[in-house]
Amino acid sequence: MEIGRIGFGTWGIGGGYWKADYTKDKEEIEAMKYWLSKGIRTIDTAEMYGGGHTEELVGEAIKREVRDDVFIISKVWSNHLHYEDLIKSGKASAKRVGTFLDLYLIHWPNDQVPLCESIRALETLVESGIARHIGVSNFDVPHLREALSCTRKYEIFANEIKYNYFYREPEKDIIPFCEENKIKVIAYEPLEKGAAARVGLKEALSYIMKRTVPIPKSSNKAHIDEIVNAVSGHS
Ligand SMILES: NC(=O)c1ccc[n+]([C@@H]2O[C@H](COP(=O)([O-])OP(=O)(O)OC[C@H]3O[C@@H](n4cnc5c(N)ncnc54)[C@H](OP(=O)(O)O)[C@@H]3O)[C@@H](O)[C@H]2O)c1
């Protein structure tokens, strides 16, 4: 399966910054299954979220899905960007999710580690079947240019950045650069943490879906319904 026109995020599910929270596992798995049942089948997660527990919950939510009917994105944290560390992180994420990753991203750039070393590790993960596509997150244009110069066998598939109805800064240079270089843009915090509901989800999401793939987060079925209704005809 290819990436959807819209996906859903998992930040705050199963814990926070490198810290697991097991208290709401059942409800969180239910909420993710609800997204899937509504036809939103692109899922964004990361090794940092809940210190890996979020990926475990994603694994639970997709357990009974046909593998090719979901598109899973995960990310390697910026302290794991040396070659061996990145390989280890990619394998551990795939193990927690219980399957290969459709897209594996460098979560944040880290100028202490040569970017080409990290890209080489990402390419190795594709060769070994751990990831299908590689990409980056929070990369500005200079970082993107460098990343493009490092690839040998695989394209930079996507750049995941903050972008929403209220925050349009990326329209100045990052989005045009990605479009010129056929890099998909994934929009995180697409609801500006829920504030988008105030202008109307339909307007807020339609606006950013013209050029990007938003990944809103919600663990609330009524909110998920609102989002799904707002984008019906888009996904
Ligand atoms: N790459 C990166 O560096 C990066 C950084 C930040 C985020 N992300 C990814 O992007 C995803 C989305 O970003 P985000 O979660 O930070 O922010 P967001 O999607 O803009 O907003 C999420 C918040 O909005 C609320 N919400 C959802 N639907 C709503 C509705 N219909 N009405 C009112 N409130 C609503 C949610 O609460 P309920 O759960 O109660 O609905 C949640 O508190 C993350 O989950 C994560 O996967 C990536």
In Å, how far are 59, 71, 206, 228 from 36, measured between CA atoms?
13, 11, 20, 11
Say which residues have a Cβ less than 8 Å from residue 177's Cβ, sequence separation at least 6.
141, 144, 183
User: What pLDDT is recorded for position 1?
Assistant: 84
Q: Has residue 235 been placed in a domain?
A: no
Q: Has residue 223 been placed in a domain?
A: yes
Is there an atom of ligand 1 within 6 Å of 139 CB? no
Q: Which residues belong to the active site?
A: 49
* Cβ pair 157, 183 in contact under 8 A: yes
Cα-to-centroid distance, 108 and ligand 1 (Å): 18
User: What pLDDT is recorded for position 233?
Assistant: 73
> Given ligand 1 and candidates 28, 77, 217, 225, which is best to mutate, with the most ligand atoms within 8 Å of its CB?
217
Q: Has residue 222 been placed in a domain?
A: yes
Cα-to-centroid distance, 83 and ligand 1 (Å): 31
106: alpha, beta or left? (left if phi > 0; alpha if psi -120 to 50): beta
Residue 227 CA: nearest ligand 1 atom is: 31
User: What pLDDT is recorded for position 235?
Assistant: 47
Q: Has residue 1 been placed in a domain?
A: no
User: What pLDDT is recorded for position 3?
Assistant: 97
Structural domain for 170, as ranges? 8-230
- Mean pLDDT computed over 31-36: 98
Q: Can you tell me the distance from the alpha carbon of 218 to that of 126, in angstroms, rounded to the nearest whole number?
A: 30
Cα-to-centroid distance, 217 and ligand 1 (Å): 4
In this predicted model, what pLDDT tens digit does every residue of 127-157 receive, in sequence order?
999 999 999 999 999 999 999 999 999 999 9
Residue 44 CA: nearest ligand 1 atom is: 47
Q: Has residue 2 been placed in a domain?
A: no
Number of domains in the chain: 1
Number of H helices, E strands in the chain: 8, 10
> Given ligand 1 and candidates 28, 44, 218, 228, which is best to mutate, with the most ligand atoms within 8 Å of its CB?
218
Q: In the structure encoding, which two tokens stand for residue 106, read together? A: 């460098």
Q: Can you tell me the distance from the alpha carbon of 94 to that of 234, in angstroms, rounded to the nearest whole number?
A: 29
Cα-to-centroid distance, 216 and ligand 1 (Å): 5
Which neighbouring-strand residues pair with 80? none
Is there an atom of ligand 1 within 6 Å of 11 CB? yes
Using the Cα atoms of residue 37, residue 52, residue 135 and residue 67 in order, give the sign of their dihedral. Answer: negative
Residue 193 CA: nearest ligand 1 atom is: 21
Cα-to-centroid distance, 165 and ligand 1 (Å): 14
Which CATH number is 74's domain given? 3.20.20.100
Question: Does an H or E element contain 182, and which?
Answer: none
Q: Has residue 164 been placed in a domain?
A: yes
Q: Which among 189, 180, 107 is positioned nearest to 141, based on CA atoms?
A: 180
Q: Has residue 32 been placed in a domain?
A: yes
Helix (H, G, I), strand (E, B) or coil at 75: strand
Looking at the whole model, is its pTM more than 0.85? yes
Res. 234: pLDDT tops 80: no
Q: Has residue 109 been placed in a domain?
A: yes
Q: In the structure encoding, which two tokens stand for residue 19, read together? A: 């810290």
Res. 179: pLDDT tops 60: yes
